[in-house]
Amino acid sequence: MSAIQIKDLTFVPYISETELQKLISDVAQKINSDYKGKEIIFVGVLNGVFMFASDLIKQIDLNCQVSFVKLSSYHGTETTEVVTELFGLVESVENKHVIILEDIVDTGITIEGLYHHLLSQNPASLEIGTLLFKPDKYTKDVPIKYIAKSVPNEFVVGYGLDYDGFGRNIPSIYQLKA
């Protein structure tokens, strides 16, 4: 694999399709074992999660439901204020075992709002699973139970993740060229 160009930026290969599938299988096996005998509902955060959610959920051998939400975060009038709007998720998660699925957790701002929103509905349990996690950037206390891979603080694209709306269709993950 060689470097690719998306708009004005160059990206180099970082996580191959083979490695991705191995990482995702490991997460699926953990979930199958942790929730044995239980029903779960996955709540995927669009857009970036679509490939990870699809490959992961195909390997889940439990009774499960699948739902998606879309979150849009933007800075309010104060520079520190981040407003998160939630779209989707009509069904209640009360008394359900819920696993939120994210493509990448960076500062944790996106996931924190959704986590507390779902927690207020009294789920039987609530956990977070993410394909990628940037531990050096994470500023929140919300526990991230399932992490396929921790990555350094570099911008990545592919496998659902975009740069300015492009690159989501790339089947592996590329990293911004230093």
Interface with ligand 5GP (CB under 6 A): 48, 102-111, 155-157, 161-163
Nearer to ligand 5GP, 43 or 96 (CB): 43
Residue type, 145: K
Nearer to ligand 5GP, 20 or 156 (CB): 156
Residue 170 CB neighbours (<10 A): 20
What is the nearest approach in angstroms of ligand 5GP to the Cβ of residue 155?
4
Q: Is 143 exposed, middle or buried (0-12, 13-18, 19+ CB in 10 A)?
A: exposed
Q: What angle do CA 134, 142, 127 make, to 5 degrees?
A: 95
What is the nearest approach in angstroms of ligand 5GP to the Cβ of residue 4?
14
Residue 162: closest CA among 174, 150, 151: 174
110: three-class secondary structure by DSSP: helix
Which residue among the candidates 106, 141, 162, 164 is catalytic per the annotation? 106
Nearer to ligand 5GP, 12 or 122 (CB): 12
User: Any catalytic annotation for residue 61?
Assistant: no
What is the nearest approach in angstroms of ligand 5GP to the Cβ of residue 61?
27
Catalytic residues: 106
